[in-house]
Chains A and B, each alone.
Chain A
């Protein structure tokens, strides 16, 4: 914070408008396409603002590695990766501490809605490749993942979508973009289930008061609605 913030990002909100012209509770433009990878069991491509993600599901299939088999249910293998050209500075290929952690929380964000018990001892592979990153990559990946899982015919109790609530210039705002994420005060990615709006992922770093946290949760609930609609519209459109 403070001294190393470039001049042009010191004011992230002016007259209740953000640097990209959005209102505080406004999502970036959302575009979802279904069935973009023919060799996958299910797939989706998503753009939320400048963040672009490809999601593919392979399976249910034979579980590898075999020592990870769960005889009672399928295992969801999630692999989140940022492609080398997805950010300003090239990302070195291969897993990192960051990508491993995100793969884990993404798995947990989705596991509770998937009827894994219908496929004992099998594996479901979920690959999430970030093609272009402009904040909110894990949230965008989760939103894409549940579309790809639905497209693959995997039984689920509902869809999962995610966004982020942040604090920028002391104000709460939804779906942070790159500069807002880098130079804002707080970032809180959050994922919810479409049916009951229960939360399956929440991470936070920065600074929130109790009141702010409460407000952030209710803002998230409201903001995620249009994401569910976009997911459903994309899946329906595929079958039109």
Chain B
């Protein structure tokens, strides 16, 4: 169901004074991160940001490397906007939004060189590990990219590489080589402009009111590794700088939460 015109107006008119759910402009909703939620997956996480909920799962398989990188493992991010989450999600091939989400999450992980793909080579030019990161949206209340990004990296951090048996097949009986070679923790933070005011972690209604949306993924050393400007309207450079600073600040907090969840998982 799309937002009523008057509610849209209400959010826009009031944003300078207060947000619809009484949060301050750069305040995140409550985030919960659960690990090990799917036993069949090599790694998994369930992330909730307010009422938004996603599940991320890692599956690994042996495949042929790309010709231009014969000694590197392959990463693939795919997301499903399941019809579970919203009556607006039609079933069928992935739509623009889910493709964009997958690609932004993919870039955050790929460009930060989070996964040491060289260590995922089994036999150069012939066999490498393919790492599938699948994200399912369970409930949609906005800010899907941040939830998906947090879920993806948490699932990777808790993933175990399956053992390869002597005959070259993957052992699916719970025998593992060890953790994935992970070097960083990229965290995407999305803010938007509503009535020219910067608002972070927008819920679904706020997202429908946003003129412009800007996602910034930050790595451990506070540098940025991926960005995406979306939404129909323009943004000033000051606004973009401000949003990237918010991303630096917020990603630090969320990274600690991810690290805590992973530590708890491994304990």
Binding site for B on A (CB under 8 A): 36-40, 43, 50, 52, 54, 56, 58-59, 61, 64, 79, 81, 83-90, 93-95, 125, 127, 129, 131-134
Contact = CB atoms under 8 A, between A and B. Distances in A.
A37 B57 contact: no
B83 A58 contact: yes
- B interface bracket (residues with beta carbon within 8 Å of A): 20 to 34
A50 B78 contact: no
Given A131-B38, A132-B39, A88 B84 contact: no
B51 A81 contact: no
B139 A83 contact: no
Interface in B138-172: 138-141, 172
A99 B58 CA distance: 22
A127 B82 contact: yes
Given A37-B53, A58-B87, A84-B132, 7 more contacts: A38-B139, A39-B140, A81-B82, A84-B59, A85-B41, A90-B132, A90-B134
A86 B40 contact: yes
B139 A129 contact: no
Given A88-B40, A88-B172, A90-B59, A83 B83 contact: no
A85 B44 contact: yes
Nearest to A94: B93
B90 to A, nearest CB: 8
B136 interface: yes
Most buried by A among B37, B53, B136: B136
Given A39-B86, A94-B93, A127-B84, A86 B38 contact: yes
A129 B61 contact: no
Contacts of A87: 40
Contacts of B87: 39, 58-59, 61, 125
A85 B59 contact: yes
A110 B39 CA distance: 29
Interface string B106-117: 000000000000
B80 interface: yes
A88 B138 CA distance: 21
Nearest to B94: A93
Given A90-B132, A93-B78, A94-B93, A37 B85 contact: yes
Contacts of A125: 83, 87
Interface string B11-27: 00000000000000000
A61 B82 CA distance: 18
B141 A39 contact: yes
Nearest to A134: B40
A38 B87 CA distance: 12
A95 B83 CA distance: 13
B83 A127 contact: yes
A93 B39 contact: no
Interface in B27-57: 37-41, 44, 51, 53, 55, 57
A90 B74 CA distance: 15
Contacts of B86: 39, 58
Interface string B54-90: 0101110100000000000000001010111111001
B144 to A, nearest CB: 12
A40 B53 CA distance: 13
B138 A54 contact: yes
Nearest to A90: B59
Contact of B134 (A38, A83, A89): A83
A83 B141 CA distance: 21
